[in-house]
Chain A
Amino acid sequence: MNTFKFADLKIGMTEEFHTESVRGGAAVHTVETDALEDTGGEVGVPLEISQERLDLFRDLTGDISPIHIDEDYARERGFAGRVCYGMLTSAFYSTLVGVYLPGKYALFQEAHISMAKPVYIGDRLSVTGKITDLNEALKRITIKARIRNQRGETVSRATLAVGVSE
């Protein structure tokens, strides 16, 4: 986990982390903090959407909308299969903020999210975030974030506001 405090942060600062999830298994992640590379101020987190994750989200939230849990229904609606919950995909913004950018000293305040394309079981996602504004008086940062699938298509865009401890 990163431990950036407000004074450590800069617009466009560069960090990158990799996380791997195990297909068909529990949400097992390995974090390779030694694999840093310059990506122009963005943080990347490759992830895979599993059936287990959809089912866990259903159980956690009680959202039993058939588009997420019924393969046949989803196909009748014109989708390629069960559609991942948009809020499940969006939940990775929480990981971005709370673990990577800025990490430990974050207080997630706002998220404005657009769910641009459907996400399906087996999709591998990468989450990127870039600091675009720092408010010194409020000790608050703005992050432009984006989630892409394995084909590089943007499936979600967000503007995040985060308070950061001094």
Chain B
Amino acid sequence: MIFSSIVFIYYFLPLLLLIYFLVPSSWKNFILLVFSLLFYFLGEPKYIIVLILSCIINYFLSKLIEKRKHKKLYLTIACIYNIGQLLIFKYTDFFISNINNLFHSNIPFMYIVMPIGISFFTFQALGYVIDVYKGKHKSAPNLLVFMTYVCLFPQLIAGPIVRYSDINKELVSRTHTFDKTYEGIKRFIIGLSKKVLLANVLGEFSKSLVTDTLLASWLKPISFTLQIYFDFSGYSDMAIGLGLILGFRFLENFNYPLIAKSITDFWRRWHISLSSWFRDYVYIPLGGNRVKKIKWLRNILIVWFLTGFWHGASWNFIIWGLYFGILLIIEKLFLGKYLEKTKVLKYIYTLLIVVISFLIFNANSVSEIFMSLKNMFMLNNIPLTDKVTNYYFRSYLVLLIISIISATPLIKVLTTKIKSSKYKIILDILEPITYLGLLTLSTAFLIDASFNPFLYFRF
């Protein structure tokens, strides 16, 4: 089940909230856990056992670690279990394919279906165990609290990767206020609108650009970059909004990454929970930047190799990660200080790098990456534009403009200014109307997606 679906918004969520707010506080975690497991079960019935097993094993390992005897051994077991689980479910066929290619062998594929959200809940559980080992926080008081933390449905299948230390107090005792709930509703609707009104439609646009023209070769990665930003940040917004409605305050996962001044800055703004996870659990334990230069560069490349590989079992994701790693090294070694001195160039540079990165991310093969790049930089003999490109460009132009504006903090800055001015009253009236309008519009887009005319009647 996904948040941007009718069954979630109009059936699952109201039922959960009705029961959740009716039961006494002591029952709330139990209800949350039951609904979280139901949420997962409905999306992935066969693999719910993987999720539950992961919770139980990590919970008991953390308890054993806390007893201090053989704690390193238990940590090692936890690492092997979690990483092993991820490797088996996510990467088995990737390894088989590469072994077959390398050694001309014929090992049959396993065709293992990846459990939804395994990359997120594995990292969450592993981070938790490491933190208990390091004494950053105590282990969860009981299995119910721990399972509620790992299985908490708003962040279970697509993040953000919430740290136990960020919500441990709320897991035990949390407050529910109308202010917080309204804030959550607004945030959820923003996320839903980003996903349904922008990301999905940008996806249609990107897919429509099928002809090889210079204009299309640029519009395709630009629209895909916007699409993936609104898709992913929209999901995070919905997760944060649902968290607020349920009394949790998750940390932000995106902070207008497309206005970043450098790639270093971009990764401080994009998927913050993942980059900080790799920083805290891989980069710093490897020595971070407090080692010899060559080791420091190695550490950066390891982290970005893993970041790429985490995104998917395919070479283009590894190339994508290493591409950022190399660029970050270049920025840290010398480019960064030059970029800082520029006013506009740093933004253009960052956007260009990011757009190309998502071209790599979205590619089906390495050869497709090179072909697209050649088209973009006029190394192929292609026309400037054609009728098809013009048609779709014209048709999606307003959406593109809205998307670009929405990817900047412009609306946020404007509303903040109005809120502190004498026109605040206008905003107070317009705000709920706008959100209700966005919810209605998103519902309309979801419903229309199911429109399926019987095509025989055309002829």
A binds B: no
A residues whose Cβ falls under 8 Å from a Cβ of B: none
B residues whose Cβ falls under 8 Å from a Cβ of A: none
